[in-house]
Structures are given as structure tokens and as C-alpha cells.
Chains A and B, each alone.
Chain A
């Protein structure tokens, strides 16, 4: 390899790093002040690109000058900043005090809404942007041609860093941002207008994302998939750098840009995996990121969100349960379609209960539970398709695959807590997704694998439905039992006060790891059953939207109850199955419903049911 080639590779790594920093700096500033991890940050980036590919060509009609190009880019950033303000005023303001799981879900609702709106306004076809006047040529560096625009991008990152530094240290607004990042309550106590501060922060954060998107238009076409791909990278940058730290984000973006530029030379297929491995390594050594700080302990005890006292079922609960059971068993009397939906509901209910075993019972907010579901499906599916094994051993392999992956990832995950933990589970899920997506020879890549059919005796829909019913209900009953058992109680105890659990002799990390593994195995079992019910597997089973579906189910069902997630899975899946064929805009509806759920009944169906019954007649 020649030096000149390596140099150009390094320069292009720096250019990506620079772009990544511009985007991630906005995310980290917003998190520092509001303590909300804003999934919609990727949507702001996408909107920046779309606004720019609309606005900049229009401006260039007047005159093809570099000035007008950059005026267009800046105007796009400001327009997106205004959208950030709209989001803060209409949504975020109402959810600053709700648990972080709900905040994540609500901002993901915004992601879904924006995706549909973008499709509605700009259509499904990618839009290529104009090239920047004056920066269209190539520059020769040691005989290698390097695009001038990329060279320009290298300087944008440091320039934004310098401007942010000036803003943070020379203006009152910036000083308040830094103060709020360190101690939000104290800033409130000093009589600062919090509403203005938060709105301003969202403007700044969204504008930076919009700027990042607008600057990309000469390099990449605007498409409706750019939001989720960038948000994962931006999450990784902020987590490695330390959430809330702008210089940390800068260092992390540099590390990742260079890692990707050189990693692609050595391991062309698994650059994404390299990035996440870097993140895992950093978090094990420095759990709060390179320049991050642990959240100042509030110093007061608050009742945790989640299962409080897993009390006995009362009579109404038992009646509901019996009705549900009869419905499940009677579905084959209705029609084939009802059986299909019923089978899926049972499988998803097991996945949701296994997730709530972590979230509700253990306080471990996993944002990547679909990984274990999907790996279970792939574990079973590969055995059938590639190894020619029958269904029975494949169904035994599914929980083993899910559990093994959860044991491996969980080893790192349980070292963290709160939002860092959620981000790491998300990152690991993305690794699993990337591996399945890119390892085409084995997994079939994007297309997945077909031909995952049950054994002959279970081939009919009805028999498979009853098989699924027996397996999932047994697993759910088992998980419920574990929640009531000493192990479940210990997980709740560690959630309530890790310090106290430690002082009574509990190895908190070990128990959380075992719990994570158990939940992963249960999700894997559900995934295996799902594969056979569909006859095929594909990477969407491991994707972020699938994880969000599971979270929506437990949110809808109520994370405070043991069996609420079952009701949540049934309601969620039935609604989705009903509405999906009716509309082209199901994302819009799903997004609005998630936000509605977070705002209207944060305690879910089970909570609504309980409060209805408590009310005197």
C-alpha cells in the first residue's frame, strides 16, 4: 500500500468524522440539558438534507455562486432548528418528568411521523443534490485526486467546535447550557427561565443536525432511510465521547471516522461491527464515556418505575385470564386468518413478557430486545435451512441462541445503568443486525431465508397454533413464577437500591446478568416459534423498529404489571394488523399512537384497568 493512498484514506476519514461531529454535537447538547435521548435527531438530519435539496437548487437558479450555496445550507439548518422548537414546545415539554424509556419511545414516535411526512412531501425516490459551486474540482495530494468539497468538510468540524466553544464560554445562553448539563435542578433553583433555555437548546441541537444534513447534499442523495442509519452512528459518538460533552463528541467522531476509513481496508464487511466493538471497549473501561461524568445522584429515594408488588391475581384478573385462554383455544373455530393472528399474538406476548421481565421487574431498559428474538429465529431457521434439521431440535436451539447472545452482550450491558445501558443494548442489537445483514453467504442478507417450515405433524395452521399456545403459555407461566420467586425479587431489590442489595450480600451484577440471559433465552424461543409460523426469516426481525414494537407492547400493556404485556401484545398486534392494510400512512398513525400512549396513559392498559376498578361505582 502506498503512503499517498493511506493519506487520502485518512483525509476521507477526517471528512466523515467532521460531518459526524456536527450532527452528534447537537445530540449531545440536547441530552446534556434536557436529559432526553432524542431519537428524532436523525430525522432532523434527514430534514436538513431534504430542505437543502429543495432550497439550494432554487437559490442557485439566480446565480451559481458559492455564497448562495452556503446561504441555502445555513437557511436549511435554521429551518430545521425551528422544527426543533416546534417539537420542544408541543411534545418534549410534556415529557421531561416521565421515565426515560417513555421519552425514548415518544421521540421514536416522532421519527415514524417524520418518515411518513417526508414520503408524503418529497416522495419515495431519492433526490440528488447540486454540487457546491467553486468546490467541484479535485485537489491533487501526492498524485491522488481528492475532492475539494471533502477537504472543505474536514474544516467544518473544527470550525463548529470553535464556534460552540465561543457560544458556551462567551454567552449567557452557553453558560446556562453548561450549567444545566452539570446540574439541572440547581439551574432551576437559581431562577433561570427553564422553558426558554430548553427551547433554545432544542433550536441549537436541531439546527446542528440540519446543518449536518444540508452539508451532505453534494455527497449523498436525500433519502427516507437516512434518519435511522445516522442516528445509530450519532448515538455511538455521543456515548463514546460521554453524553453531554461536546469535546468528547469531537474526539469520538475522530476515532470513529478514522476507524471506519482504515477498517474498511482490512475488514471491508464488518466496519459497523468494529465501531460497536470500540464502543463496548470504551464503555467497559470508562462507563460514562471518554469525557462524560456520572449523573449526580439526586440524593433522595424515589419509587422506581416498573413492577412494584407482583400481587396475586384477584377474581377479575382470573376471569379475564380465563376468557383470554378460551379465546386462544377457540380461534381455530373462527377462520384461518384469526388463527394466524392468534399465533402471532401468542409469540409476541412471550417476547413482550420477556422484555418486561427486564424492564418492569429488573429496571433494565433494553432498547434492543429484538436482537435476541431475531437471533433465536435465525438460530432455528439456519438449522432447518442450512443443516437440514427438523423443527423440534431447531426449537430447542432457538432459546439457546437467544440466551447465548444475551449472555455475551449482557456481560457488558449490566455494567451500566439507565440511559447508557439502553444505548448499549441498542448498539449491540445493531451489531447483530449488521452481521445478519452483511453475512450474505450464510444468512441470505437482506432477502433472508425461506423454507423454515414446521415438521409434518405440526404443518397445519391449527396444530401449529396449539403447539405455539402450549409452548408460549408454559414459558409465560414460568417467567411469571420467576418474578414471584426469590430470583425475581432479587432483581427488583437490585433495581430499587443497588447499594442496599450489595450491602445484604447480593452480587448485583451477576444477578442482572443472569436475568438478562434468561430474558434473552425466552425472547429467542419466541423468535424460533415466529420463524416457523412465517416460514421465513429476514433481518427486520432484529431491527430497531421491532425492538420499538416490543417496547410499545409493554408500554401499552403497562410495565407495572406482570401480565399486562400479554394484553399489550394482543392489543398492539391486533391494531397493527387491522390498520396496516387500510392505510399507506401506518407509520404516521403508529407514531401518533405511541406519543398518545406516553401522554395519556403512561401506566398502560393494566394501569387503566386497575384505576377503573378502584373507582367507586
Chain B
């Protein structure tokens, strides 16, 4: 079944048409990347799907249910996890505490006044940290971690709500190159094994062409190309407006290194 169906999403900021009738679909376990130059409307589209922006027109359907314009806390409860371009975590909490907090919210326990929060969902939180390779750091304050590790913890936080769909806004922004590849491989592995759909925007072409199953190219609010990485790379229009020659070569290289 189609996990996410986006139909004719439109958003206008004053005189600027930031997204013009954007439509796409995403299956379970699939990784769909949205790419495009700066100002193409990637974040706008993304925030309309994620509930941060209310669309002027169009609809968002999650597993057959209309979720257009729902706030992100409501989306979270029906299975949408999210990570941010600049990682958003609870800085005063430990690594473990961050994931425990997400689990408390997932279980609807945030209004309990008496139990000791630090003792709740410890094992589940440790297991989630284990899945992103951060179990060894569980006791540290999150502010001490390297940025790439913070991004991993953020992924664990998003996974705590047992999402069917993960929205990742530039998952590798601000990371060192070697951290990027590892994070994307981790996300791809989790998505495929647990049948989670992943929608992500990205500037790093290595990450996109190595891991996306399908790619949407957005320019000035409109989708100008869509398809498998090979199709998009070969598209002359995409090469002209976005990838350029060196970008096209990089895309090919990335695809070959990962898939042989």
C-alpha cells in the first residue's frame, strides 16, 4: 500500500509561489530524496508534509488517511518521525534521557506527576540507542557529543515513536564526510529492515545517489524530474539546471561505489 501520497501541494509566500502543485508518493521501506538548488521549495514542501506549514492547496495522505495541515505533534502520534536540519535535542538531558523522553511522549505519560522519569523505559531507550550505535554513550550529557553522534541520537529519538514514515531534513548537513556515509547507510538499513518510508532532502549528492530509491528534482517550486537515480542523473534538464558536469560525475561515482 502507498504509505504517503502527496497531491497538488501548493504554498504561496506573498508573491512567491514556493511550491506549485507538488505531487508524489512513497512506499513502505522506500527512500525518496527531494533535491534541488537553494530556494527551490524543498524545505517548504517538507514542512507542509511535516505539519510545520499549512498548505494553501493540495492534500497529504498517510496510509489512506487525510492528514493535511495536522500539527507535527499529531502527526507524530500517527507514525511520523522527524529529524531537523540543525539537530534538535534536549540539551540538558543525557543521551539516554533524550530517548527516554521521546518514549514517555510516545506512551502518553508526559502528565504523570509522581513516578521517577529517570527509571522509566530505560531498557527500551538503551535498545534504541543500540540500534543507532550509541549505547556506549548513553550516560553522557548530549551536549558533549560530536555533532555526527548527536544526529544519530536524534534518529533514535525519532525512532522511539515507532514511525512508519521518517522525515529527515538534510540529515547529513554539518557533518564530516566520513560520518555522512555511515549515517546514511544506517538510515537505509533501518528503513529497509523495518519497512519505514524515508523522505529526505539533501544537498550532499553522494548521500542522495548512493541511498535513494527514487529522486524528485524540485526547481522554483515545481518538480522538473523524477525517477530512479540513473534516470535523474541522465536527465539533460537536471544536468543543466542543477547538477552541472562535475555533479553528474560525482553522482555516477557515488552510485558505483555503493552498488558496485
Contact = CB atoms under 8 A, between A and B. Distances in A.
Interface of A: 299-304, 306-309, 481-482, 484-490, 492-493, 495-497, 499-508, 511, 514
Given A505-B161, A511-B110, 12 more contacts: A299-B86, A303-B92, A309-B94, A484-B116, A485-B117, A490-B105, A497-B90, A500-B88, A500-B89, A503-B81, A504-B161, A506-B110
A511 B105 CA distance: 12
Contacts of B226: none
Interface in B106-137: 106, 109-118, 120
Contacts of B141: 309
Interface stretch (B10-18, B69-77, B178-186, B204-212): B69-77
Given A504-B102, A504-B161, A490 B110 contact: yes
A500 B101 CA distance: 11
A484 B114 CA distance: 8
B233 interface: no
Given A304-B92, A506-B105, A489 B161 contact: no
B96 to A, nearest CB: 11
List the 8 shortest-distance A-B pairs measured between CB atoms, nearest first.
A505-B76, A500-B88, A490-B110, A496-B90, A489-B117, A308-B92, A504-B105, A486-B112
Contacts of B84: 499-500, 503
B242 interface: no
Given A487-B112, A503-B82, A511-B110, A497 B73 contact: no
B62 interface: no
A487 B110 contact: yes
Contacts of A504: 73, 76, 101-102, 105-106, 157, 160-161
A337 to B, nearest CB: 38
A484 B120 CA distance: 11
B241 interface: no
A488 B106 contact: no
B143 interface: yes
A505 B105 contact: yes
Contacts of A507: 73
A506 B157 CA distance: 13
A497 B105 CA distance: 14
Interface residues of B, number: 41
B91 interface: yes
A403 B161 CA distance: 33
Interface of B: 71-74, 76-77, 81-82, 84, 86-94, 97, 101-102, 104-106, 109-118, 120, 141, 143, 157-158, 160-161
A514 B106 CA distance: 19
14 contacts: A306-B92, A482-B113, A484-B116, A485-B114, A486-B111, A492-B92, A496-B92, A500-B90, A503-B73, A503-B84, A504-B102, A504-B106, A505-B76, A505-B105
Contacts of B91: 301-304, 496-497
B113 A503 contact: no
B103 to A, nearest CB: 9
B73 A490 contact: no
Nearest to B102: A504
Contacts of A489: 93, 97, 101, 104, 117
A434 to B, nearest CB: 34
Contacts of B93: 309, 489, 492-493, 496
A503 B161 CA distance: 10
Contacts of A492: 90, 92-93
Contacts of A506: 73, 105, 110
Contacts of A499: 84, 88
A481 B115 CA distance: 8
Contacts of B143: 303
A508 B157 CA distance: 17
Contacts of A303: 91-92, 143
Contacts of B158: 503
Nearest to B83: A503
Nearest to A301: B91
A307 B117 CA distance: 15
A506 B114 CA distance: 18
B109 A486 contact: yes
Nearest to A508: B73
B159 to A, nearest CB: 11
B111 A514 contact: yes
A182 to B, nearest CB: 19
B201 to A, nearest CB: 16
Nearest to A478: B113
B115 A486 contact: yes
Contacts of A306: 92
Nearest to A312: B118
Given A300-B86, A309-B93, A484 B118 contact: yes
Contacts of B94: 309
B151 to A, nearest CB: 13
Nearest to B74: A505
Contacts of A496: 89-93
B106 A505 contact: yes
A501 B82 CA distance: 11
Contacts of B111: 486-487, 490, 511, 514
A490 B101 contact: yes
A513 B106 CA distance: 20
A502 B81 CA distance: 11
A307 B92 CA distance: 8
B248 to A, nearest CB: 32
Contacts of A308: 92
Contacts of B88: 301, 497, 499-500, 503
Given A299-B86, A485-B112, A507-B73, A493 B117 contact: no
A307 B111 CA distance: 19
B76 A485 contact: no
Contacts of A309: 92-94, 97, 141
Given A492-B90, A502-B71, A504-B160, A481 B76 contact: no
A511 B108 CA distance: 12
A486 B120 contact: yes
B92 A485 contact: no
A386 to B, nearest CB: 34
Nearest to B111: A487
A396 to B, nearest CB: 19
A493 B101 contact: yes
A489 to B, nearest CB: 4
A500 B73 contact: no
A486 B110 contact: yes
Contacts of A490: 101, 104-105, 110-111
